[in-house]
Amino acid sequence: MTFRSLHPGNNKQSVPLALAIFSPTTIAAMKNYFPNRPDSANFLELISKWWVIINSNSRYSSNNLGHAFILGDGKTCFLRAFANFLEEWSTLSSFFA
């Protein structure tokens, strides 16, 4: 993760800078350096998995989540859980507003 990925300036919509934050290495570092804060690493991992699934443009990929569709691969379960997370988050954020 670089300084620029944390402070993007006018590049707030830069995909490479965003992916630097949600990368597997950042997630691993969070788990290693902050073991008492699994919520942060879990959030980064959730967004990372979602990104890989929705940006699939190939039926076959070296990344298991990157496949466009394989029967029984669990992506639909993940996306349902992700939708539930967003629903809870939306309710929670409106609670604190």
User: What confidence tens digit (pLDDT) does each residue in 84-96 have?
Assistant: 888 888 787 666 6
Q: How far apart are CA 35 and CA 88, in angstroms?
A: 24
Single-letter amino acid code for the residue at 23? S
Q: What is the pLDDT of residues 1-19, one digit of tens each?
A: 677 777 777 777 777 777 8
* Distance of alpha carbon 72 from the chain centroid: 21
pTM for the model stands at 0.60
Contact 17, 8 (CB under 8 A): yes
Q: Residue 79's pLDDT is what?
A: 80
What percent of the chain is modeled with pLDDT above 70?
74
Single-letter amino acid code for the residue at 74? G
